[in-house]
Amino acid sequence: MKILVKCLQGGSTLLDVSESSTVSELKKLVQKNMRIPVFQQTLILFGKCLQDEKCISDYPQIKDGTKLYVAIKNPDFFNTTLHKFLRKYYHEAQCKVIVEEFMKNFHSKVNSLSLDDLERIAKSEIESAASGL
């Protein structure tokens, strides 16, 4: 089946995949065609993040011609900033453990959000910033 993958920052690619392909395999094709590293990809279908270990067949909404979106994430920036902040209060080894646990929890929570949830958060932040001006 053919799946269109569009990048939220621009660009797209048409991929030929089977229902038995995993999301992880799909991400490798996106990396090859769009030059977006797998670790920076989040594939999105109807506002929900696809899980790497699942097969395409685990998502009955994915059919021939389905459009997926790929969001590009930059996890190092947040990790680095958090680590620098924590170094003021903790030893290096403690910082590493805290950041790893925080990021694991953070990713779990973010992956459970829909695009509608993210849009509401963004609008709330924009309105809050505008009222503070």
For 65, left (φ over 0), alpha (ψ -120 to 50), or beta? left
Q: Which fold has domain 1-73?
A: Ubiquitin-like (UB roll) (3.10.20)
Q: How far is CA 44 from CA 70, 91, 98, 99, 101, in A?
A: 6, 38, 28, 26, 24
Joined together, the tokens standing for residue 53 give 């270990």
Amino acid identity at 20: S
Q: Is the pLDDT of residue 53 over 60?
A: yes
User: 25: pLDDT confidence band, cut at 50, 70 and 90?
Assistant: very high
Q: How high is the pLDDT of residue 133?
A: 53
Q: Is the pLDDT of residue 56 over 70?
A: yes
Q: Which residue bears the tokens 């067949």?
A: 57
User: 75: pLDDT confidence band, cut at 50, 70 and 90?
Assistant: low
Residues 6+ apart with CB under 8 A from 111: 49, 51
Give residue limits of the domains in the chain: 1-73, 75-133
Tell me the pTM. 0.58
